[in-house]
Amino acid sequence: MQTVLVTGGAGFIGANFILLARKLAWANVINLDKLTYASNLENLAELQGEKNYHFVQGDIGNFELVSYLLEQYQPEAIINFAAESHVDRSILNPENFIQTNVVGTFQLLEASRLYWQKLSPSRQQQFRFLHVSTDEVYGSLKSQDAAFREDTPYAPNSPYAASKAASDHFVRAYHHTYGLPTLTTNCSNNYGPRQFPEKLIPLTILNAMDGKPLPIYGDGQNIRDWLYVIDHCEAIQLVLQQGKIGETYNIGGLNEQTNLIVVEKICAILDELVPKSDYSHSSLITFVKDRPGHDRRYAIDCSKISQDLGWQPQENFDSGLLKTVQWYLDNPEWVNQVRSGAYKNWLKQNYDHKKLE
Ligand code: NAD
Ligand code: DAU
């Protein structure tokens, strides 16, 4: 069985990826995570004590630590999920995004290169560095524009997107210059269990469960292409095993929705599962000031991964959303734990100044 170093594995997508990898028993996993506000070790509680899973608290930007872990565990692959991932936070405080997404990815690449260069030729051939990126690097689409392809020029609009674009360029350069066997995936908005409730879908679910306003930025007509997190994790595993070295792969849900429709669908599910006698959840919808520089539309053309590797998203949006809402209802301990000081402070910081007069 191969050993993989997963970074950012205590976050939303990384944790779902590790749980899937261990369920399918295809890899021993070393999880390196700094444990920022977005992480949650509860996500991985079921793996505690497993001999094929090791957690290490640390920063991808810590070159000595990463080099030590590579020497110690001799992984066949690195999968880099670690990032500052929330656009609104990047608008309020961009510096952390440069540190982790740009400098951190650079240090991780540099430690990986030095490790890889010392491997035997056959192990060098086997090794992969898979970098998980985003469709936001391509910028914003107009309603009639074709979906993002792998050759769409980069045009990042937020500090978050710019930091991810920079990291993608470093990954590309490490392949081109040093021959490091890299793979990059650019995916659309993920949803599913275990997502920190600063992002639209879990924020809406938690606020609606509490009878609080459901904030919609601007006119609610911005479009995102929603991808169920398990579909995404399966695609990453496939790219890791069969992707062509040095290539990038777009991963999307083939599922474009306006934000208003997404929030209305969540409200309809909650009306069914936890009906209120005196109001419908949709009455909580509240339009608030728009996000500065808000990208209008994202859409992914995933024909390359579909044709080359045979991947297609499997989850249907209505059933995926139902599973997601049900997960938050079924896990009150997880929900109560994340409703910590840090989360409350974020709601105040981001939403107080967005109220419309
Ligand atoms: P997340 O914010 O839920 O989790 C990020 C994890 O990275 C956290 O556990 C955090 O502690 C860890 N981390 C942050 N800085 C670190 C550092 N310096 N060193 C080590 N660990 C660190 O993010 P997510 O939603 O799971 O996203 C994972 C990756 O996928 C990110 O690279 C993100 O840019 C990308 N992505 C996410 C989405 C999405 O919809 N969530 C879509 C496209 C791409
Ligand atoms: O497209 C991929 C990206 O998707 C990832 O790279 C990012 O890591 C991830 O955070 C996500 O970015 P978005 O900005 O699209 O996700 P978010 O959930 O923050 O917002 C989704 C849409 O909903 C966006 O148009 C803004 C809007 N929104 C968001 C929040 C938090 C609201 O209307 N109200 C809100 O309170």
Closest ligand relative to 212 C-alpha: 2
Q: Provide the residue type at 12 as one letter.
A: F
pLDDT band for 354, please (50, 70, 90 cuts).
confident
- pLDDT tens track for 245-288: 999 999 999 999 999 999 999 999 999 999 999 999 999 999 99
**For the CA of 99, the nearest atom of ligand 1:** 18
Residue nearest to atom 20 of ligand 2 (CA): 200
Exactly one of 84, 135, 234, 264 is catalytic; name it: 135
Query: CB 339: neighbour CB atoms within 10 A?
Result: 14
Say whether 84 is catalytic. no
Cα 88 to ligand 2 centroid, rounded to whole Å? 8
Closest ligand relative to 65 C-alpha: 1
Is residue 216 within 6 Å of ligand 2 at its C-beta? yes
Task: Average the pLDDT over 227-231 and give the result.
Answer: 98
Closest ligand relative to 13 C-alpha: 1
Cα 288 to ligand 2 centroid, rounded to whole Å? 14
Give the per-residue pLDDT at 357. 55
| Token digits of residue 217 | 């930025």
Cα 233 to ligand 1 centroid, rounded to whole Å? 13
Which residue of 191, 217, 351 sits with most ligand 2 atoms within 8 Å of its CB, as the best mutation to test the pocket?
Answer: 217
Give the per-residue pLDDT at 172. 98
Enter the CATH code of domain 3-195+226-255+294-315: 3.40.50.720
**For the CA of 220, the nearest atom of ligand 2:** 33
Is residue 340 over pLDDT 80?
no
pLDDT band for 62, please (50, 70, 90 cuts).
very high
Cβ-in-10-Å burial (0-12, 13-18, 19+) of 258 comes to middle
CA 113 to chain centre: 24
pLDDT band for 343, please (50, 70, 90 cuts).
confident
Q: Domain extents for the chain?
A: 3-195+226-255+294-315
Ligand 1 binding pocket, CB closer than 6 Å: 7-8, 10-14, 32-36, 38-39, 59-61, 81-85, 100, 104, 132, 134, 164, 187, 189-190, 196
Is residue 188 within 6 Å of ligand 2 at its C-beta? yes
Say whether 145 is catalytic. no
SS3 173: helix
Is residue 297 within 6 Å of ligand 2 at its C-beta? no
- pLDDT tens track for 5-30: 999 999 999 999 999 999 999 999 99
CA atoms within 13 A on the CB side of 302: 28
More confident residue, 28 or 356: 28
Give the per-residue pLDDT at 182. 99
Give the per-residue pLDDT at 341. 66
Give the per-residue pLDDT at 325. 98
- For 46-68, b/e burial (b = at least 16 CB within 10 A) is ebeeeeebbbbebbbbbeebbbe
SS3 219: coil
Give the per-residue pLDDT at 134. 98
Exactly one of 53, 115, 138, 160 is catalytic; name it: 160
Give the per-residue pLDDT at 344. 82
Cα 82 to ligand 1 centroid, rounded to whole Å? 5
DSSP 43-112: GGGGGTT-TTEEEEE--TT-HHHHHHHHHHH--SEEEE--S---HHHHHH-THHHIIIIIIIHHHHHHHH
Say whether 219 is catalytic. no
Angle made by CA atoms 6, 298, 224, in degrees to the nearest 5: 80
Which residue of 7, 12, 106 sits with most ligand 1 atoms within 8 Å of its CB, as the best mutation to test the pocket?
Answer: 12
Q: Provide the residue type at 138 as one letter.
A: Y
Is residue 225 within 6 Å of ligand 2 at its C-beta? no
Q: Bridge partners of 133?
A: 186
